[in-house]
Structure 1
Amino acid sequence: MRYLLFIAAGYCCGSILFAYILPKIFYDIDITKLSDDKNPGTHNAFRYGNKKVGTKVLILELLKGFLPVFIGAGFLDVNNNMFAVVMAAPVLGHAYPLYRHGRGGKAIAVSFGVLMGLYPIITPLSLLVLFYILFSCVICISPDSCKSIITFVCFGVSALLLCDSKAVAAGCIAITAIVLFRHYQKHVAENLEISLFRKRVI
């Protein structure tokens, strides 16, 4: 029962799309309409809002992943397989919030927050940070969507191999699957919009 409570709480926390809400409240900006990818995420909050609102969004997006997992780890057994679902719940909530009919974000920042919530287990977070730095500063990959996909594939595989806890490894795989599928859906939607636009022009 406790696992289900934390899963529900994590999903609800993840469903709060601060990148959509804060720019809308403070600046009357709808970043899902201004941005090309229609993504209610931290990157677009910085890009179409400003540094001030973007920073607030980043902190809140990290916290909504961090708090359910960190608090849950204090009450639950992180080696129980159900804890993998606790880890995945905030990411799933961000990617597929019920109140927006599943039209959520790409779940990058919240994924970092979830992995921060595993402290003192630091291997998963270290791996994700390592691959983001690698593909941002050493082997530069663009656009950002491709970089995120490659990063999370490498993260998921390495977490499976290097994490001592099978439940934590399973949680990392679940997070990777959600992020990759959300990126795939966004890519399909973008291509569909481009095709429809070309047909109208023709």
Structure 2
Amino acid sequence: MTEHEERKQRRLDARSLRGLAHPLRMQLLDALRQHGPATASQLAERLGESSGATSYHLRQLAEHGFVEDAPERGKGRERWWQVVDQGIRFDSADFEDASPEVRGLTEVFLQEGAARHARELSTWLGTRDQWPQPWARATDMSDMTLRLTPDLAVELIGRLHDLIDGYRDRVPDKDTPESEQVRIHTHLFPIETD
């Protein structure tokens, strides 16, 4: 089984949303995805939090299946954590008849996700001059407007996700010159027009 097959995207449901919809938990999960396995203390230092808070929220993420022990990394009593899935997929259709509590958690999850996207983009804009020229040409910040039906919008989202997933099997080794992790944000939403 390849790493791509082992660590696919996880589709959120009401139970898993309860375990994830907290700003620090989402930040912990992102830090582990971007930087690899770490201890609660290392994550606390990276995120400017107390190790008690990171430890508690890591245990909550583990209880809901988002992170797990990375025992090959630990020494003695040191507990290392790693992610379970490559990413998260949120489908609003899964929450249409949700309770008020779950709708509130959905709002926390979506708002924190949007804030994270804005922070990541802002960080890129502030540091883009520090990257080699090939990376300056290999970035995109586009927006497009189409007229679609809901069915066409769902089809487009699926095709975009499939296209991106097709690149997971083409991932170069960490030792490949010029290879870097990249972030891809997709947003599709209706806008009011006159």
* TM-score, length-scaled by structure 2: 0.31
Q: Which has the larger radius of gyration?
A: 2
Say which structure is richer in strand. 2
Say which structure is richer in helix. 1
* TM-score, length-scaled by structure 1: 0.30
